[in-house]
Amino acid sequence: MSGHGTPIPMTSHPCGPLTGTAEVPGDKSISHRSLILGAMAVGETRISGLLEGEDVLDTAKAMRAFGAEVTDHGGGEWTVHGVGVGGFAEPDQVIDCGNSGTGVRLIMGAMATCPISATFTGDASLNKRPMARVTDPLALFGTQAVGRSGGRLPMTIVGAADSTPVRYEVPVPSAQVKSAVLLAGLNAPGKTVVIEKEATRDHSERMLAGFGAEITVEDTDEGRVITLTGRPELKPQVIAVPRDPSSAAFPVCAALLTPGSDVLVPGIGLNPTRAGLFTTLRKMGADLTYENEREEGGEPVADLRAKYSPNMKGIDVPPERAASMIDEYPVLSVVAANATGVTMMGGVKELRVKESDRIDAMARGLRANGVTVEEGDEWWSVEGLGIGNVPGGGTCESFLDHRIAMSFMILGMGAKKGVTVDDAGPIATSFPIFEPLMATLGAKLQRNNR
């Protein structure tokens, strides 16, 4: 569980060229889903390359509490002995999902149509995040939820013993909401239909098909229509988790900003519903190439090479690209500060309800380091100062948000003076090897022990 330890202040000092190979950890979205679907299959699922960050470890613990046998064999190799769809046992303890929105929302969906109750909680960040976006559609299955005011955790979910299938149009672009409804639909008899107007990451759809569920996806005038037939017997899988593009974003952006850099990030998942940042960076003029493009375990994968890119220009990032790069806006804003001209980022209201209000958190920290930021409810813009011209020297709050902490560490690498975050502890939720990996490439990160 994250966010309860002693804060770890950290400074990122301007550094020389970043060079070498950055083997970033496994994809967080696919790791959560491997454990949850493995727990709902009959028999043993084998997973390699699982992300062993706090968010995913909390999901592993939760799956044990619901009755699955989850074993860590070391080196990212895990097995999950599942209990079958509808087979979850009632946990005898509160399920603590730590800092993880994905963990709590997907697990709520997975247990929502089982005849059991469970109480969920999280850290100070997760307990502020909205859960009604998930419990509203789950109510259509007959599931009940009692939480704190405003639909916040801690919250008890009473599963629906006799569920009916559901047709639900997701009102916000959210793969977590879509996935929660699909996972609940697994134990409802008949066809559950989820419609999304904007495509969001489709790992649940791909993996449900891989586990043997009957699932179809159609692009229609209404949007993407996903139809799932309930009560399948899920077949255990052998899963090789690709490396996480959202984690790759940090060494990639650091390389673009640091003179002389040349960094290779091998084996990155490049599912088009996740790759929006790399499209955006190339449009800004980044020297970013895909090498050795291939398919692994049903996901497109490539090796990414990023080189120092002194001539990047600010652009208008199209709102329709937002879902495919939603977790990457914080680090994009750091690149934007080093480009010339303004970068405008619209259609990003969802950034306000992540681990922190990410527009507010980045705007404060960028301003503290000499960068001009403007913002509205659903948009923000960053005025680029040109490469190497960010003054730096400021201290930023990370607000229990791993992506905010890592983004400010990247800001420091290309600034005139070092940049400090008050707490780098949350980085362990998604990228536990961030500090040693960046140091191997040539970054100068320093823990400031109080």
Ligand X SMILES: C=C(OP(=O)(O)O)C(=O)O
Ligand Y SMILES: O=C(O)C1=C[C@@H](OP(=O)(O)O)[C@@H](O)[C@H](O)C1
Instruction: List residues forming the annotated binding site for 3-phosphoshikimate.
Output: 28-29, 33, 174, 176, 327, 354
355 binds, among ligand X, ligand Y, none (CB under 5 to 8 A by kind): ligand X
Total site size for ligand Y, rule CB under 6 A: 11
Closest by CA to 184, choosing from 148, 136, 126, 238, is: 136
Residue 29 or 237 having the CB closest to ligand Y: 29
b/e map of 420-436 (b: 16 or more CB within 10 Å)?
bbbbbbbbbbbbbbbbe
Give 75's contacts (C-beta < 8 A, 6+ positions apart).
none
Active-site residue list: 327
d(CA 397, CA 422): 5
Stretch that binds ligand Y, among 89-97, 111-119, 170-178, 226-234 (CB under 6 A): 170-178
DSSP-derived secondary structure for 188-219? SSSEEEEEESS----HHHHHHHHTT--EEEEE
29 binds, among ligand Y, ligand X, none (CB under 5 to 8 A by kind): ligand Y
Among 45, 174, 309, 324, binds ligand Y (CB under 6 A): 174
Taking CB under 6 A as the criterion, which residues in 186-215 touch ligand Y?
Answer: 201
201 binds, among ligand Y, ligand X, none (CB under 5 to 8 A by kind): ligand Y
Residue 104 or 193 having the CB closest to ligand X: 104
Distances (CA, A) of 414 to 16, 258, 341, 371: 9, 6, 17, 13
Residue 30 or 441 having the CB closest to ligand Y: 30
Least distance (Å) from ligand Y to the CB of residue 335?
19
d(CA 155, CA 333): 34
Q: Which two tokens stand for residue 152?
A: 């916040």
Q: Which two tokens stand for residue 37?
A: 């679907």
**Contact pattern from residue 13 through residue 52 relative to ligand Y, giving x for each residue in contact according to CB under 6 A and a dash for the rest:** ----------------x-----------------------
Binding residues: 28-29, 33, 101, 129, 174, 176, 327, 354, 358, 403
Q: Which two tokens stand for residue 73?
A: 């064999």
179 binds, among ligand Y, ligand X, none (CB under 5 to 8 A by kind): ligand Y
Q: What does the angle CA 245 – CA 77 – CA 125 come to, to the nearest 5 degrees?
A: 50
Residues that bind ligand X (CB under 6 A): 100-102, 327, 354-355, 403, 430
Least distance (Å) from ligand X to the CB of residue 245?
12
Q: Which two tokens stand for residue 402?
A: 């791993």
Least distance (Å) from ligand X to the CB of residue 430?
5
Stretch that binds ligand Y, among 8-16, 171-179, 208-216, 261-269 (CB under 6 A): 171-179
Q: Say if residue 343 is exposed, middle or buried (CB neighbours under 10 Å; 0-12, 13-18, 19+).
A: buried
User: 3-class SS at 232?
Assistant: coil
Taking CB under 6 A as the criterion, which residues in 350-409 touch ligand Y?
Answer: 350
174 binds, among ligand X, ligand Y, none (CB under 5 to 8 A by kind): ligand Y
Cα-flanking dihedrals φ and ψ of residue 296, to 5°?
-135, 125
The residues that touch ligand Y, with contacts defined as CB under 6 A, are: 29, 101-102, 174-176, 179, 201, 326-327, 350
